[in-house]
Each structure stands twice: as structure tokens, then as C-alpha cells.
Amino acid sequence: MALLRIVEVSKAFGDLVANDRISLSLEAGEVLALLGENGAGKTTLMNILFGHYTADSGHIEVGGERLPPGATDAALAAGVGMVHQHFSLADNMTVLENVMLGTERLWSWRSETAAGRKRLLTLAADFGLEVDPDTPVGALSVGERQRVEILKALYRDARILILDEPTAVLTPQEVERLFETLKAMVAKGLSIIFISHKLHEILAVSDRVAVLRRGRVVGEVATAEADREGLAELMVGHKVSRPMVEHLAPGDPVVELEAVGVAPAGRGRPLLERVSLEVRAREILGLAGVAGNGQSALAGVLSGVLAPSSGTLRFAGEAVTRFAPRDFVARGIGRIPEDRHATGIIGEMSVWENFICEDLGEPPLFRWGRVIDGRACRDLAAELIAAFDLRCKSMEVPAKLLSGGNMQKLILARTLRREPRFILANQPVRGLDEGAIAAVHARILEAKRRGAGVLLISEDLDEILALADRVAVIHGGRVGPALEVGAVTARELGAMMAGDLGGAGEKLPEAVP
């Protein structure tokens, strides 16, 4: 008897069929991995399960009983808990308050805090999810916040826990710890749906894998019988080829940072502290680190939106004094921002308008330096759309309607068409599907072959190890020495990401021949 049954669920948005007669079941004490590219229908399915959307047809059963469609409270009452990729926690409240929020009866005189605290501590001990109940959530690390989210679900008696891309923000060590927690949960009879696109994690943690493609279940296999290549092919629909990385002889430094520091907005620790690094032509320098360790400040300095409070930045040997994005673009710096939606595109503007946002006023796209030449801009857009295989209904649709991969292609096209000598790629493939990841990586490697230097900031060690020539680790606003990728293991990097930089900040990074 399955604990959860998804029966023939279909859902369409206009012409787009997001879910096409999907049937899945989940046994008690099982980890089911849901694998699929972005846009395969995973999120829609989970939103139907959780009552955010109503299915066009089909239904959901929990423990043999049908869930009323579109009722989130019914899903919660039936024991379905969800941990979203982006946490929904109140930063200014304590862990305990966050966990209890919404669970207390509205018309009760007494506060149930004492009982809640006891219950929280028991749950935390049972599942290895230690957090201090009285710390404000704002002061916690990302890994700890995730623990709070899981505790929130457990506190509500979740029997089925849905985790949406849970490892995206964690260090390798934290991932291992999360997997131990998941195993403890399964041992206690809970069931888990684990949504991910990282194949090795799915292979490590799940019992069964369901693969979604274009709204349909295209395969369901026991993990023991699955292999990496087979799953990847099933997910994408065709063979996936990893881009070939070739090591080229690096050229002169294109970007040099010397003891760069960034003071915090208010009190507190500096965002960057005596950071020195060097990116040379024809090389990719990977910058690994857990989110929130100064990557944003470093990217801000290198994008020209943040002026450092100390130190020097040299570009092609020339010291930069004016920190302004327009100047940076003109100098030949290409910038791929961390958050596509928030910084990369202007959502309600059309696709073609988003191509020209770094060129405002420049001929030939603008006449008399002021007036948009609609034809020239559209011609350019058509050219770039074709060259970068950007899929969209028309270049007149708002850019926010593009899928993540196509949005990233838009940003890449806009950046790379200027043939920049230095590229800042900040989380360039976060949230993208396999096909798009391969396309983005191929473009970055191509730029490197052309002679550009690339700084690849990523939280995904696998990405860095696959792509970069050298790697450095950022922690607490300080950057360790850059090491040859072949000479360092993921575990060593993991230790550095947790804070053991080995005397960084005091000395310049060693020059590597």
C-alpha cells in the first residue's frame, strides 16, 4: 500500500502541457528522487501535490485518501511537508518562533512555547538537526537555515518531506550531513521526495528515481540499477557530451587584485579583506566557497558596481580608479551576474530591449546618440538569438517569460558579443538544466580559447573542478592561494571552504608556473 499516490495528474497552461498524465507512488520509508530538467514539470507537479495549483485532471491520494484539490491546509494536515529551494523564514525571529509560527491556536490564552521548545529539541536530537532554538534565523548559516526548514516540516508531523534542490547551497561536508539526516528520517519511517538535477547525489541518496521530461514520466528505475550516463540521457532525451577542457598556456594577467578590501555598510566584519588574486589570459580561475562569504562583494568590485575601500584593481596592467559599469564594459570586462532575474534582465522589457541595455546611446544601435534605432536593434537581436540558439516565441515578448536557460543565453549573448578580455562568470549555471549548462560552459570555454581570462565564481565544486585551470577558495571575505586544479582534491577544498584557508590574506597567492 503506497503512502502517496499521484494518479494521472495533468495540467496545462494555455498551450503548454506542464504535466501530462503523471502517475507516481511513494512507499513509506522510501526516498524517491525526482529528476528532470528545468521546465520538465517537477515544480508544477509539486505545486499540485501541495495544493498551490489545481490539476486539470487526475488526483492525489495520501494514505489511501484523496486530497481535496487546491487545498494547501489539507496537504499539510495529511502530513506533506515541503522545503523550498528559497527558504521562507523570518530573519528577525528566533528558530523556535519560526518553527512554531502558525501552529498555535489563534484563540488560545496560553502560549505553547514551553511545550514547543521541548518538542523541537526532541526532533532535533532524533534527526541530528542541532540548532539553537533561541538564535535569530538571520544569524544562521545557510546550512543551519535549511535545518530549520526541515524542522518546521517535522514539527508539523510531516510524513512525506519534499526537498527541492536541497544541496544547491551547501558545502560538501554539509551535504554529507544532510544525507545522514535523510537516512535517519527514512529509518524512522518517513518518506522523502528529493528533487535534484545533480546525478551523483541522486545516486547516493535515493532508493528509486523517476525521470520527468516535457511533463511526462519517461522512466522509473531502482537506483541500484541506474547509472549516471543512462539517467542523464533519459533526462535530456539524447546523449549528453561534456565540453572538452583543454589547458592552454596562460598569457599575461588581465585582472589583478592587490590587497582589495571592502568595508561593510554598517558595523561588522569587512566584506572583503586584503584579497589578492590574478586572472590571466586563456585561463579559467575558479573561485569556490559557500554562499555569503564575500563572493557578492568581490563580484560587485569586478562588475564596477562597488568601489573597494582599500587596495587596487588593475585591468590589463592599468589601475582602475572609476568604478562604473559603463567604464568596465568599455574596458572589455564581460559580466555575468549571479542572479539572472534580479540583476541580469529587466523582466518586463522585451527580449530585444534586454540585448541593448549595456549599449545605451552607442551607434549603430542608436541614432544621434539618443534615439533607439528599432530596426538595427532588432537585427542585432535576431542575429544573437540565432547564434546562441535562444528559444523564444518572439523577440517582442517580455524577457521574464524566458526559461532560465534562455535567459542566461540572452545575458551571455549580450556579454560575449563584445568579445571581452575578462569575463566575470558568477554562478553562470545555477538552476539550469543539463542541456543549458553544457551550452553555457561551451561558450565560456570558447571565450577562453579566444584569449579571455575568466573568473568563475561557483558554489558547485564539481563545476569548478570540471572547468577551471586553477582554483581558489573564498571564506569570510578572504581568498586563499590559487592552486592548480589537478593538484587538489574536493575534500581539501571542502576543508578550505569551511574556513581553513591556510594563511590567506597575509601573503600573496603563490605564482603557479
Partner 1 sequence: MRTEPREDAPLWLLVVAPLAAVAAALLLCAGLILWAGESVPEAYGLLLKGAFGSRFALTETLARATPLILTGLAAAVAFRARFWNIGGEGQFYCGALAATWLGAGMILLPPLLMIPLLFLAGALAGGLALLLPVLLKARLKVDEVVTTLLLNFVILLLVSYLIEGPWKDPMSLGWPQAAPIVEEGVLPKLLAKSRLHLGLVVGLVAALAVWLVLRFTVWGYEIRAVGINPQAAAFAGISINLTVLRVALISGGLAGLAGVGEVAGLKGYLTLDLSPGFGYAGIAVAMLANLHPLGVILSAIFIAGIYVGADSMSRAVNIPTYIADVIVATSVLAVLVSLLFVKFRVRFGG
- Which residues are near partner 1 by CB under 8 A? 13-14, 16, 53-54, 68-70, 303-305, 324-326, 329, 335, 337, 342-349, 353, 356-358, 360-361, 366, 369-372, 374, 397-398, 401
Considering the complex, state which of residue 98 and residue 354 has its C-beta at the smaller distance from partner 1: 354
Among candidates 422, 399, 269, 393, which has minimal Cα distance to 332?
422
- Which grid cell sits at 145? 537555515
Distances (CA, A) of 360 to 144, 147, 166, 372, 378: 43, 45, 40, 8, 14
Residue 507 carries which DSSP code? B
Alpha-carbon distance of 418 to 336, in angstroms, equals 13
Distances (CA, A) of 223 to 29, 101, 150, 190: 15, 37, 24, 18
Going across the sheet that includes 310-315, the strands are 272-280, 253-262, 310-315, 318-319
Considering the complex, state which of residue 14 and residue 268 has its C-beta at the smaller distance from partner 1: 14
Closest distance of CB 161 from partner 1, Å: 25
The full DSSP string for 142-208 is HHHHHHHHHHHHHHTT-SEEEEESTTTT--HHHHHHHHHHHHHHHHTT-EEEEEES-HHHHHHH-SE
Closest distance of CB 296 from partner 1, Å: 12
Considering the complex, state which of residue 223 and residue 415 has its C-beta at the smaller distance from partner 1: 415
Closest distance of CB 356 from partner 1, Å: 8
Closest distance of CB 263 from partner 1, Å: 19
Cβ-contact 199, 206 below 8 angstroms: no
Task: Specify the 3-state DSSP secondary structure of 339.
Answer: coil
Considering the complex, state which of residue 239 and residue 370 has its C-beta at the smaller distance from partner 1: 370
Closest distance of CB 271 from partner 1, Å: 17
Considering the complex, state which of residue 93 and residue 372 has its C-beta at the smaller distance from partner 1: 372
- H helix intervals, 213-362: 228-236, 295-303, 325-331, 351-355
Closest distance of CB 67 from partner 1, Å: 11
Closest distance of CB 375 from partner 1, Å: 12
Determine if the peptide bond prior to 364 is cis (ω within 30°): yes
Closest distance of CB 371 from partner 1, Å: 5
Closest distance of CB 401 from partner 1, Å: 6
Closest distance of CB 53 from partner 1, Å: 7
Alpha-carbon distance of 359 to 380, in angstroms, equals 12
Alpha-carbon distance of 91 to 112, in angstroms, equals 21
Alpha-carbon distance of 27 to 375, in angstroms, equals 58
Closest distance of CB 379 from partner 1, Å: 17
Considering the complex, state which of residue 12 and residue 466 has its C-beta at the smaller distance from partner 1: 12
Considering the complex, state which of residue 150 and residue 301 has its C-beta at the smaller distance from partner 1: 301
Considering the complex, state which of residue 362 and residue 484 has its C-beta at the smaller distance from partner 1: 362
Considering the complex, state which of residue 128 and residue 398 has its C-beta at the smaller distance from partner 1: 398
Considering the complex, state which of residue 222 and residue 357 has its C-beta at the smaller distance from partner 1: 357
Considering the complex, state which of residue 357 and residue 512 has its C-beta at the smaller distance from partner 1: 357
Task: Specify the 3-state DSSP secondary structure of 427.
Answer: coil
The full DSSP string for 367-404 is ETTTEE-HHHHHHHHHHHHHHTT---S-TTSBGGGS-H
Output the furthest CA–CA distance in the chain (Å, rounded). 73
